[in-house]
Structure 1
Amino acid sequence: MSDLLWQKPGVEVDPRIQAFLAGGDVLLDREFIQDDITASAAHARGLARIGILTDDECTALCRELSLLSADLLSGDFVLDERFEDGHSAIESRLVERLGDTGRKIHTGRSRNDQVLVATRLWLKRKLGELQAVCRESAEVCLQRAETEALPMPGYTHLQRAVVSSTAMWWAGFAEAFIDNAVRAGQARDWIDANPLGTAAGYGVNLPLDREGSTKELGFARTQVSPIYAQLSRGKFEIAAVDALGAAMLDLRRLAWDLSLFTTAEFGFVGLPPQYTTGSSIMPNKRNPDLVELMRATYASVAAARTELENLLSLPSGYHRDLQYTKGALFHAFGRGLGALALLPNLLRGLQWKPERLAQAFDDGMFATDKAVELAVAGLPFREAYRLAAVEPLPKAGADPQASLEARVSPGGSGALGLAALRQRFDAIPGPA
């Protein structure tokens, strides 16, 4: 490992202790080192604006930062065990190339605000990706709700309950993912605050141009209080993971439906072949492994949220405990966005099996319709309920399509409200 930024003369570093202190930072920081480079360039230009760096020094630093970015992308530079973390790797490279000019880059900042701003830039991008995939999923669901309305059983307690439709099923998940896209945008807006220039949490004795770096880095506002910048570490990550978790909850329930609907016992849905796998021993099997792992992915997001929350049992100010927020955050978004990215094409490719849907109806599923009809005719509902429960329904009345058309309560199968959903969908910001 290269010389540590904080190492003091005469103090020997125990490799085992240092390995524990650094943890997996050198690997984790690969995730957002490009954001760290972007923020470092903005910091250099800010130092030049207040006279700490000359124009030539600033130009040299920004040039080397740009070259480092390119070398990381090409693989010519690798963030590895030579370095304590991504921050030290950047500074080491600048010192190697520029000598004393490289040593000036850390003037007026701490690794505390350095990791904060890199994380914040990374989170903004990931929440943008979350919003985009939720928007795309909602669009697929909405389009299919608008174009197909096969009668299908509606279930409560996994028991046949009333007549529903594929359009209602699609509309339900369309609205869910519209909400998820909106929530991702709200989380992004909430955390869109620049912490760069707060240093170790108490500011520095320099007139840093924080508004300039806010504008350059594309933040909506400056995070004013240095103490709050530290208090927000972990808190903002939880907000982002909560937005991700909301989408994952809906993905889990959708995956559960598909797991059931693809069984031989239901047989309502066929999945595209590429979304299933075979058994290693049973030649007859095609397994819905993809939807099962989609269903399982929420566990990773929930675990990350729990880890983040438990790390925050701290007083104000920076504490090394916060180092562990990175692993939980990267793991949650890595798995969560990985699962969600596969969802839109899965939704486009699944096919209903009308004959199996039709076979799943029985006369009892029309009992609620009968009770409501009797109530509309003037019978007290509790009496209508009793009669519908004990008197057999005439076969002529057991018409799924008629049942769907009669369900005219707003949002019901006869009045789906797709125009209102389309209006909400259109108001979601598209890709940046």
Structure 2
Amino acid sequence: MSPLLWQKPGVKVDARIQAFLAGEDVVLDREFFLFDIQASRAHAEGLQRIGILGADELERLCAEMEELADDFRAGRFVLDDRHEDGHSAIEARLVERLGDTGKKIHTGRSRNDQVLVATRLWLKEKLSEVAALSRECAEVALARAEVEQGVPLPGYTHLQRAVVSSLGMWWSAWAEGFIDNAVRAAQTREWVDANPLGSAAGYGVNLPLDRDHTTAALGFGRLQVSATYAQLSRGKFEMAAIEALCSALLDVRRLAWDLSLFTSAEYGFVQLPSQYTTGSSIMPNKRNPDVIELMRASYAAAAAARTEIEQLLSLPSGYHRDLQFSKGAIFHAFGRGLGALALLPDLLRNLEWQPARMRDALEPSMYATDLAVSLARDGMPFREAYREAADPARWAEGDPERSLDDRVSPGAAGALRLDSLKQRLEALR
């Protein structure tokens, strides 16, 4: 292992204790490594602006960091247990190649603000992915709502047949849901978009660091002003990012549940694309909806990660090593969550509905609510109309298309208002 950044003369390092301290940090830091290099370059530029580095030193540091990033992408440099973490790996490489100039890179910063800035840069990228995938899901759902809006589909409450619904209502629900998810991810990204670099270990440093420069250089929307709050925000902004992810995954979970039911032989309303199913290891007749089942389960991974971080935050102010464990939680949450979201748009594009099966599932009782409302519209008090319509003798085979056309309250089958959803979707571009 490269020399420990914090090791003092005469301090013995116990290998077992060091292994516990490092944990899987160096492996997890592979996710952050390029962002850490990016932030190190901005920090070096800031040091040059206040006279800590000369122009030639800055040029050599930046060139070396660019080469390190290229080597990492190409697999020529591997972040492994030769290093305590990604931060020490960058510094060790710079010292190895540039000697005393490399030793200057850590002036005015701490590993604390290093991990904070890398985390925020990483989360900004991941939240952009959540927003983009949610927007794509909404686009697919809205397009299909327009094409299939008049196709009857049984509507359920409590898993019991309730009223006549439509594919237009089903699709528009997911369209609006994923528009909301895209908005939430974008708003959370804006909230996370603050630069903590230069806050050091939470108390600043006795140098006039050019934090405004690093804010602009790294593309942050604003400076995270308080050096102490930069540390206090750790965990808080990670949880907010996971919550935005969970908002989308909640809809994935419920949508996957619908498809799990609708693809069963008992319903038979829809057929999944073959690539989204797998076979049984013992039953030759089976095609299992394993993909949508794992998509359904993805929310649990993200929710568990959020809870893990929340439980780490029972801490006083200042930095505490407990927070090291938050890295694995966010990687796990976004790894699982974005994996599920990425598969959803093509699944939605390629669902094949079975309209005859859906129509066959409609029964006379499902028109009872229409009858009650019709009687009330004609002047009968609703509670009396309700009792009248509850009588099975009043039930008869209905016309599903007419039922849908007559449902004219805004947002219902006869008045989907897809244009308003389209306007919201366009505003996200």
For 2:400, the equivalent position in structure 1 comes to 400
SS in 2 for 1:392: helix
For 2:276, the equivalent position in structure 1 comes to 275
C-alpha displacement at 1:152, in angstroms? 0.6
For 1:120, the equivalent position in structure 2 comes to 120
For 1:312, the equivalent position in structure 2 comes to 313
For 1:111, the equivalent position in structure 2 comes to 111
For 1:15, the equivalent position in structure 2 comes to 15
Q: Which runs of 4+ in 1 moved over 3 A?
A: 393-396
CA 1:306–1:394 in 2, change beyond 3 Å: closer, same or farther? closer
For 2:292, the equivalent position in structure 1 comes to 291
Mapped to 2, the partners of 1:132 and 1:393 lie a distance apart of 50
C-alpha displacement at 1:394, in angstroms? 5.7
SS in 2 for 1:342: helix
Mapped to 2, the partners of 1:257 and 1:37 lie a distance apart of 44
SS in 2 for 1:164: strand
Mapped to 2, the partners of 1:147 and 1:221 lie a distance apart of 44
SS in 2 for 1:292: helix
C-alpha displacement at 1:417, in angstroms? 1.0
For 2:164, the equivalent position in structure 1 comes to 163
For 1:341, the equivalent position in structure 2 comes to 342
Mapped to 2, the partners of 1:169 and 1:393 lie a distance apart of 28
Deviation sequence 1:198-227 (CA, Å, 0-9, x none) = 001000000000000000100000000001
For 1:201, the equivalent position in structure 2 comes to 202
Question: 1:368 is aligned with what amino acid?
Answer: T
For 1:301, the equivalent position in structure 2 comes to 302
1:161-240 aligned at under 5 Å gives the runs 161-240=162-241
Deviation sequence 1:304-349 (CA, Å, 0-9, x none) = 0100111011111100011111000110000000110000000000
For 1:26, the equivalent position in structure 2 comes to 26
Indicate whether 1:132 and 2:139 are aligned: no
CA contact (8 A) 1:43 1:213 kept: yes
CA contact (8 A) 1:141 1:174 kept: yes
SS in 2 for 1:30: helix
C-alpha displacement at 1:2, in angstroms? 1.4
Question: 1:334 is aligned with what amino acid?
Answer: G
Question: 2:173 is aligned with what amino acid?
Answer: G
Structure 2, unpaired ranges of 5+: none
Mapped to 1, the partners of 2:48 and 2:353 lie a distance apart of 63
SS in 1 for 2:198: coil
For 2:384, the equivalent position in structure 1 comes to 383
Query: Which moves more between the two structures, 73-82 or 387-396?
Result: 387-396
Question: 1:207 is aligned with what amino acid?
Answer: P
Mapped to 1, the partners of 2:395 and 2:251 lie a distance apart of 38
Deviation sequence 1:110-146 (CA, Å, 0-9, x none) = 0000000000100000000110000000000000001
SS in 2 for 1:160: strand
Mapped to 2, the partners of 1:347 and 1:365 lie a distance apart of 27
Indicate whether 1:36 and 2:36 are aligned: yes
For 1:360, the equivalent position in structure 2 comes to 361
Deviation sequence 1:48-99 (CA, Å, 0-9, x none) = 0000000000000000000000000111000000000000000000000001
For 1:262, the equivalent position in structure 2 comes to 263
C-alpha displacement at 1:170, in angstroms? 0.2
Structure 1, unpaired ranges of 5+: none
C-alpha displacement at 1:3, in angstroms? 1.0
SS in 1 for 2:390: helix
For 1:251, the equivalent position in structure 2 comes to 252
CA contact (8 A) 2:389 2:395 kept: no
SS in 1 for 2:164: strand
For 2:93, the equivalent position in structure 1 comes to 93
Mapped to 2, the partners of 1:395 and 1:332 lie a distance apart of 50
For 1:154, the equivalent position in structure 2 comes to 155
Mapped to 2, the partners of 1:189 and 1:87 lie a distance apart of 26
Mapped to 2, the partners of 1:420 and 1:277 lie a distance apart of 39
Question: 1:93 is aligned with what amino acid?
Answer: R
Deviation sequence 1:140-159 (CA, Å, 0-9, x none) = 00000011121010000000
Mapped to 2, the partners of 1:117 and 1:69 lie a distance apart of 17
Question: 1:209 is aligned with what amino acid?
Answer: D
CA contact (8 A) 1:363 1:393 kept: no
CA contact (8 A) 1:214 1:222 kept: yes
Mapped to 1, the partners of 2:328 and 2:181 lie a distance apart of 24
Mapped to 1, the partners of 2:393 and 2:352 lie a distance apart of 34
TM-score by length of 2: 0.99
Question: 1:181 is aligned with what amino acid?
Answer: A
Question: 2:367 is aligned with what amino acid?
Answer: F
Q: Alignment length, in residue pairs?
A: 428
Question: 1:5 is aligned with what amino acid?
Answer: L
Mapped to 2, the partners of 1:130 and 1:394 lie a distance apart of 47
Identity of aligned residues (%): 71
Mapped to 2, the partners of 1:375 and 1:296 lie a distance apart of 44
Question: 1:378 is aligned with what amino acid?
Answer: G
Root-mean-square deviation (Å) = 0.7
Mapped to 1, the partners of 2:301 and 2:140 lie a distance apart of 26
CA contact (8 A) 2:134 2:178 kept: yes
Mapped to 1, the partners of 2:266 and 2:4 lie a distance apart of 62
C-alpha displacement at 1:395, in angstroms? 3.7
Question: 2:190 is aligned with what amino acid?
Answer: D
C-alpha displacement at 1:271, in angstroms? 0.5
SS in 2 for 1:102: helix
Question: 1:4 is aligned with what amino acid?
Answer: L
For 1:142, the equivalent position in structure 2 comes to 142
Deviation sequence 1:169-204 (CA, Å, 0-9, x none) = 000000000000000000000010000000010000
C-alpha displacement at 1:365, in angstroms? 0.1
Mapped to 2, the partners of 1:302 and 1:22 lie a distance apart of 25
TM-score by length of 1: 0.98
C-alpha displacement at 1:391, in angstroms? 4.6
Mapped to 2, the partners of 1:281 and 1:392 lie a distance apart of 49
